[in-house]
Structure 1
Amino acid sequence: MINAFGLLYGMPLISLDNLEDDRLEVYRNLKHTNRTRWQNTFIAESKRVVRRLVESDFEIESILVSHKRIESISDWLPADVLTFVLPHSLIEQLIGFNFHMGVMACGKRKINPLLSDFVSTTRRSTIVACRDVMDPENMGTIIRLCTAFGVDGLLLGHRSADPLSRRSLRVSMANALNLPIIQSSDFQQHLKELHERWQYDVAGTVLDDSAENLTQANRSDRLVIVFGNESEGLDQETLSLCNRQITLPMQGGTDSVNVAVAAGIFLYHLTRLV
């Protein structure tokens, strides 16, 4: 129970009845902004995602929770993190949308990992690279697929959706917190390094009947699977760095599928091959 001193089973809480506290600024007007991408922070939303953040090795700046939800999360609230408890209606004013989830948290981003952090020359390895996947839901789905199929790391072009945006993180079910992700300022150079230095096959996914048919494709021990933009696919500069091109055969007059759907099919097939 919460007592008059703002303690919940011994954990310090900060109860507020207005929105003037500067420490709430990171949560303000979230519906229309993703300012946290440039502030080295990110927002986790929902009980499940926030709990997975708490259980991860990411640092947490603060937690924001509705007074309606505080007791339901008391068993895993960290004792050393600022936890703001506000009336439900005030939180909705603060964030700018209906607060169905009841709990949010602000985490601190980590420094970009290096390629050497997830490449391997001693065991089978799969890396996914996304040139310009721009939809946050597609990004979140691809991240979840990567963890489901044992991918070692994710390489993103600089125009790709933020993997730690509120929507991407929610769709990924917080799996972005457990997958090494490089947000690259030089995507092509990283692909070139994976092939030339680390001896990975770099396979571009294309809509081209002359490319390798996925159902007949084999794989090497070290493989990078490259996916393109939702509407434009892979550009010629990126394709020139792929030593293989693989296509997904389709029927019924269908000429393409959603990039996240394609990622699931490619990963299922190529990670099962021996």
Structure 2
Amino acid sequence: MIIDIESASDERLHAFRWRERQLTTIAQRKSVLGEGMFIAEGDLVVRRALEAGCKPDVVLCDPKCAHEFAESVHQAGGTTLTASADIRREVTGLGVPLDAIGVFLRPPISDAQELINVSTRIIVLDCVDNPSNVGTIARSAAALGWNALLLDSTSADPLARRALRVSMGTTFKLPFARVSNVGETLQLLAALGFSIVGMTPHHPTKKVESLREIRLADNQPRAVVLGSERQGLSDAALEHCNVLARVEMADGIDSLNVAAATAIACYALR
């Protein structure tokens, strides 16, 4: 069933105004519990969430495209609403009337150990706290055939509104897990035979190789580690990297955005 909404004050639209702190608690976003809600913005992201098996609570659509979602939403136990462009624009606060926006239950997050056991190409994020960067990293990693994303507790939520929006929903194709200690995780990966490549433009005492000079055997499992744009890799991460790599840049340019660096590393080391 499709329900038409005629007023922006209709209580059935309240969830679409929620921000991250109302969708989940900080503890839920940083944990492995998978509790709370997330919002998928845009028809493509909503469609990919449904295809990934995420359970919708409510989906708000342009009347012209509601039929594309109604059956899938209903079968998954959710409700489909329609509203005019003006109402959709006001409710979401994005300034544009998206064709579809959905409120979903957060899926259970993968177990880190189980994810490591079935992966050969892993991205590890160490204090990457910008949701746009995390979303772009997920999109690039998935597009270039990487298997998994591991994030420490200080990195941004891959299911945050902004992260999902910039990933265009490809986050649903890249399993991710939280880890409590990056150093211990990298130590485990090394023990399992992974080559650990830490991305950094420079280091005061350790050799940093050009990314294009690194050669890994096709059957060599690998993990690429990236840190915050301001602080770089933590000491715990640096300790367990067996290779440090940089992207060669033009004179006078000292660094790249972490999401751009990740895309280059994913392509070079895939």
- With the length of structure 1 as denominator, give the TM-score of the two structures: 0.83
Alignment of 1:5-20 (within 5 A): 12-18=1-7
1:28 matched to 2:25? The reply is: no
**Aligned residue number for residue 208 of structure 2:** 211
Instruction: Find the residue that maps to 1:163 and give its secondary structure.
Output: coil
CA, structure 1 residues 205+117, in 2 after alignment: closer, same or farther (shift >3 Å)? same
RMSD across aligned C-alpha pairs, in angstroms?
2.2
1:52 is aligned to 2:48: yes
Deviation of 1:17 after TM superposition, in Å, equals 2.9
Where in structure 2 are the equivalents of 1:60-75 lying within 5 Å?
60-65=56-61, 69-75=62-68
Moved over 6 A (4+): none
Tell me the distance in 2 between the aligned counterparts of 1:148 and 1:189: 28
Q: Could you tell me how far apart the structure 2 residues matched to 1:135 and 1:229 are?
A: 9
Displacement after TM superposition at 1:125 (Å)? 1.4
Structure 1 portions without partners, runs of 5+: 1-11
CA distance in 2, matches of 1:257, 1:128: 17
1:14-45 per-residue CA deviation (whole Å, 9 max, x = no partner) reads 22334565543321254xx4532436211001
Structure 2 portions without partners, runs of 5+: 26-34
TM alignment of 1:1-274, pairs within 5 A: 12-18=1-7, 22-30=11-19, 33-38=20-25, 40-65=36-61, 69-77=62-70, 78=72, 79-80=74-75, 81-120=78-117, 125-196=120-191, 198-208=192-202, 210-219=207-216, 221-271=220-270
Larger % of helix: which? 2
Distance 1:208 1:57 in 2: 42
Tell me how many residue pairs correspond in the alignment: 252
Instruction: Look up the SS of the partner of 1:75 in the other structure.
Output: helix
Q: CA deviation at 1:73?
A: 4.0
Which protein has the larger Cα radius of gyration, Structure 1 or Structure 2? 1
Counterpart amino acid of residue 134 in structure 2: M
Residue type of the alignment partner of 1:91: R
How far did residue 240 of structure 1 move? 1.1
Asked whether the 8 Å contact 1:147–1:179 carries over to 2, the reply is yes
Q: Deviations over 1:54-113 (max 9, x none)?
A: 222111111012xxx222341343233201223333333333332331310011212221
Relative to structure 2, which stretch is displaced further, 161-170 or 37-46? 37-46
User: Using the alignment, how far apart are the partners of 2:215 and 2:135 within structure 1?
Assistant: 27
Q: Which amino acid aligns with 1:208?
A: H
Kindly provide the CA deviation profile for residues 114-140 of structure 1, in whole angstroms up to 9, marking residues without a partner as x.
Answer: 23433357xx81100111222222111
Answer whether contact 1:46 1:103 (CA < 8 A) is retained: yes
Distance 2:69 2:84 in 1: 21
CA 1:194 to 1:138, structure 2 compared with 1: closer, same or farther past 3 Å?
same
Letter in 2 for 1:201: S
Report sequence identity in percent: 28
Q: CA deviation at 1:157?
A: 1.6
Q: TM-score, normalized by length of structure 2?
A: 0.84
Q: Distance in 1 between matches of 2:152 and 2:258?
A: 15
Q: SS state of the match for residue 116, structure 2? A: coil
- Contact 1:29–1:96 (8 Å) recurs in 2: no
